[in-house]
A and B are shown apart, each in its own frame.
Chain A
């Protein structure tokens, strides 16, 4: 199964977009480096629609108490409800515990079209 989501240029780096693939709701993310990723549009916690959240950055883990280094702008999906963080560039894994991740879909750019496959 495949679905054409939009033209590549319809999404700027940092954008998220909701789409459907068959009966599944999916979220397409264009990360700050211009790459495209697609995940199930459903937070693994309580099912919130991730496309209503933010594709943003996060303070990176640090060894220094009290230090905030905000980075990775446009790479982290933040859930609209509880704020849980998913790493778009690492298979949709949660930042708090990489054991858990979103369902990921394959994305291809075909003649400037963003195409998602199941």
Chain B
């Protein structure tokens, strides 16, 4: 088994580290700190449900033995995930609490939280394990402050992407384009991970299972929005990773965008090539949560995307819908494709990752 695991050489594109507000306090200045200590500020929540798994949003076995929430202890994560699986690298994506870009107001507080979170992440995770790389958290709705934060921590050698949560903001809007200019300039990928997008016409379905089933539609909206708003035409070196939406919806969306472009090109004259070509050049997708399927079904989807280079493995550790690198992919995939999914597609995506195992 150990020998088998060594072959994986995994670059895991979605690992959730978690901070408690208490741990964040030393990194916050006043007045922001006292809004938590004295006024009990917490991140806004909009979903009517809990995550109805055994232990809420987390794997029941990922809770830290001393009782702290899953994802909050580097040592335990190293043991349960990085060492056990044999990760080459892992990209941290945060626990989306706090999620400064999800906030619908008080952007000064959101920007302060982003700065504090980045400092906490660098000190407690990125500089303590060579395998871990990080995401720059920003308050995207204060675009000037967001760019300043990218300038401040983006050059850190372990920061590889800028994280944008998917809620109800459409990130392709030209208002946000300075963020992409800054990301491109610092060789940072844009990583989009859903937080709490309302999916039913801006409202909530009655049941969690409906919401969770349709999460990929929120990813489809962002991809469509980014492509047709010309983000990749304006920033030709920019890359986007869509995290935790899976990829099996993309054959449909690529074909649909192409079809629409043939007829409605005149509305978006800044788009000068097939949308599916833009997707193949600029966007990649994480595997998790991967639907169970045969090798044949899996290969049909890859073929319809027209490329083996678009899919990157992700575990989503420590969440309940974690995908095991040893069991999630269909058995007997060709070794070349497996290697691409497990590591090479992610390595090609992130210019700041060491380009060969052991450093470049």
In the complex, are the beta carbons of B266 and A59 less than 8 A apart? yes
A51 contact set on B, CB distance < 8 A: none
Q: Which of A45, A65, A85 is the one whose CB lies under 8 Å from B266?
A: A85
In the complex, are the beta carbons of B263 and A82 less than 8 A apart? yes
Say if the beta carbon of A22 comes within 8 Å of chain B: no
**Given the contacts A65-B174, A65-B229, A84 and B270 also touching, CB distance less than 8 Å:** no
Say if the beta carbon of B272 comes within 8 Å of chain A: yes
In the complex, are the beta carbons of B262 and A63 less than 8 A apart? no
In the complex, are the beta carbons of A85 and B174 less than 8 A apart? no
Q: A117 → chain B, closest Cβ, in Å?
A: 30
Instruction: Kindly specify which of A33-41, A94-102, A103-111 makes contact with the partner chain.
Output: A94-102
Measured in the bound complex, the distance between the Cα atoms of B270 and A89 in whole Å is: 21
| A interface residue count range (under 10 / 10 to 19 / 20 to 34 / 35 or more) | 20 to 34
Q: Which of B230, B233, B234, B262 is the one whose CB lies under 8 Å from A96?
A: B262
Q: B277 → chain A, closest Cβ, in Å?
A: 10
In the complex, are the beta carbons of B264 and A83 less than 8 A apart? yes
Q: Which of B267, B270, B274 is the one whose CB lies under 8 Å from A63?
A: B270
Say if the beta carbon of B269 comes within 8 Å of chain A: yes
17 of the cross-chain contacts (CB-CB < 8 Å) are A58-B266, A61-B269, A62-B269, A63-B233, A63-B270, A64-B270, A65-B233, A66-B174, A66-B230, A66-B270, A83-B266, A84-B262, A85-B266, A96-B261, A96-B265, A96-B274, A97-B274
Residue of B nearest to A57 (CB): B266
B222-264 with Cβ < 8 A to chain A? 229-230, 233-234, 261-264
B266 contact set on A, CB distance < 8 A: 58-59, 83, 85, 95
Q: A90 → chain B, closest Cβ, in Å?
A: 15
In the complex, are the beta carbons of A65 and B234 less than 8 A apart? yes
**Given the contacts A63-B233, A97-B274, A69 and B269 also touching, CB distance less than 8 Å:** yes
Taking A64-B270, A65-B233, A96-B261 as known contacts, 19 extra A-B pairs with beta carbons closer than 8 A to each other, sorted by chain A number, are A45-B262, A58-B269, A59-B267, A59-B269, A61-B269, A61-B270, A61-B272, A62-B269, A62-B270, A65-B234, A66-B230, A68-B269, A69-B269, A83-B264, A84-B262, A85-B265, A95-B265, A95-B266, A97-B262
Measured in the bound complex, the distance between the Cα atoms of B264 and A83 in whole Å is: 7
Q: Which of A45, A65, A82, A84 is the one whose CB lies under 8 Å from B230?
A: A65
Residue of B nearest to A68 (CB): B269
Most chain A CB neighbours (cut-off 10 Å) among B233, B234, B269: B269
Number of interface residues of B (CB under 8 A): 17
Measured in the bound complex, the distance between the Cα atoms of B269 and A63 in whole Å is: 8
B229 contact set on A, CB distance < 8 A: 65
The 7 closest A-B pairs by CB, nearest first: A65-B230, A59-B269, A82-B263, A96-B265, A96-B262, A65-B270, A61-B272
B177 contact set on A, CB distance < 8 A: 65
Say if the beta carbon of A60 comes within 8 Å of chain B: yes
A85 contact set on B, CB distance < 8 A: 265-266
Measured in the bound complex, the distance between the Cα atoms of B230 and A64 in whole Å is: 9
Q: B260 → chain A, closest Cβ, in Å?
A: 10
Q: A17 → chain B, closest Cβ, in Å?
A: 24
A60 contact set on B, CB distance < 8 A: 269
Q: A74 → chain B, closest Cβ, in Å?
A: 15
A69 contact set on B, CB distance < 8 A: 269
Q: A2 → chain B, closest Cβ, in Å?
A: 33
Measured in the bound complex, the distance between the Cα atoms of B261 and A61 in whole Å is: 13
Measured in the bound complex, the distance between the Cα atoms of B232 and A65 in whole Å is: 10
Q: A49 → chain B, closest Cβ, in Å?
A: 16
B259-317 with Cβ < 8 A to chain A? 261-267, 269-270, 272, 274
Q: A75 → chain B, closest Cβ, in Å?
A: 13
Measured in the bound complex, the distance between the Cα atoms of B266 and A95 in whole Å is: 9
Q: B291 → chain A, closest Cβ, in Å?
A: 32
B261 contact set on A, CB distance < 8 A: 96
Q: A22 → chain B, closest Cβ, in Å?
A: 30
In the complex, are the beta carbons of A94 and B269 less than 8 A apart? no
Measured in the bound complex, the distance between the Cα atoms of B284 and A44 in whole Å is: 33
